[in-house]
Amino acid sequence: MENKAEKKGSSKIKIIAIGILILAVVAGGAFFGYNNFIKDKKNTAKNAVQQVNTQQVNTQQVVNNGQTAGTVANSLDQVVSSQTFQLDEVTVNLADEGGNRYLKVAVYLGFNDKKLTAELTAKKPIVTDAVIEILRTKKAADISAKNMNNIKLEIIQKINPMLEKGQLNNVYFTDIIIQ
């Protein structure tokens, strides 16, 4: 009789041990799945914004080396700003030989944070100067449809370090005249 009771107690312990083992395996699998699959999907939007900002920084290095920014510059086509800030119309001499050519543009800065409007208003002369500084280095051949995104990225990268209440995410040109 004692032998049967021992076997019942022993089998209960085995069942409990197997149950704990199964529970540990399921918990480990759930942890692994969360870290590798679900967690990544939750951060997709945040990572996309960080990726654009990282690409902009990397593009600055590429542009400074005289190479084309390519696909990073094309990412600006996909960014639509919820707010814009109009700069005064800008007229600059281009860097062509002889200095006979000039560029006239109307520039809007794109961003998403409403707080940035007041800061841009206060820093309008500084921001306009930064845009002029960039555009003065361009030749007439640089002002083409395929190079405009690179110019936009240069402007964003020049102005963003000056801003404290937000960041630009796009630049819009509404008028471009080359004479």
Average pLDDT over residues 49-62: 46
121 lies in some domain: yes
Residue 16 has pLDDT above 80, yes or no: yes
Kindly give, in sequence order, each residue whose CB lies less than 8 Å from that of residue 142, ignoring residues fewer than 6 positions away. Answer: 151
Does this model's pTM top 0.75? My answer is: no
Q: Is the domain of 159 the same as that of 86?
A: yes
Between 165 and 31, name the one with better pLDDT: 165
- Closest by CA to 112, choosing from 157, 53, 167, 74, is 167
Assigned token pair, 177: 């005249």
pLDDT > 70? residue 158? yes
- Per-residue pLDDT at 145: 86
Domain for residue 50, yes or no? Answer: no
Instruction: Classify residue 138: in a domain, yes or no.
Output: yes
Q: Is 80 exceeded by the pLDDT of residue 92?
A: yes
On whether residue 54 sits in a domain, the answer given is no
**What is the per-residue pLDDT for 69?**
45
- Same domain as 89, residue 32: no
pLDDT band, very low/low/confident/very high, at 86 (cuts 50, 70, 90) = very high
Would residue 12 count as lying in a domain?
yes
Tokens of 65: 């080396």
Residues 27 and 85 occupy one common structural domain: no
Mean pLDDT of 126-155: 93
CATH code of the domain in which 102 resides: 3.30.479.30
Count of structural domains, the chain: 2
Same domain, 107 and 159: yes
Sequence-separated (6 or more) residues with CB below 8 Å from residue 132: 90, 92
- The domain in which residue 6 lies consists of 2-42
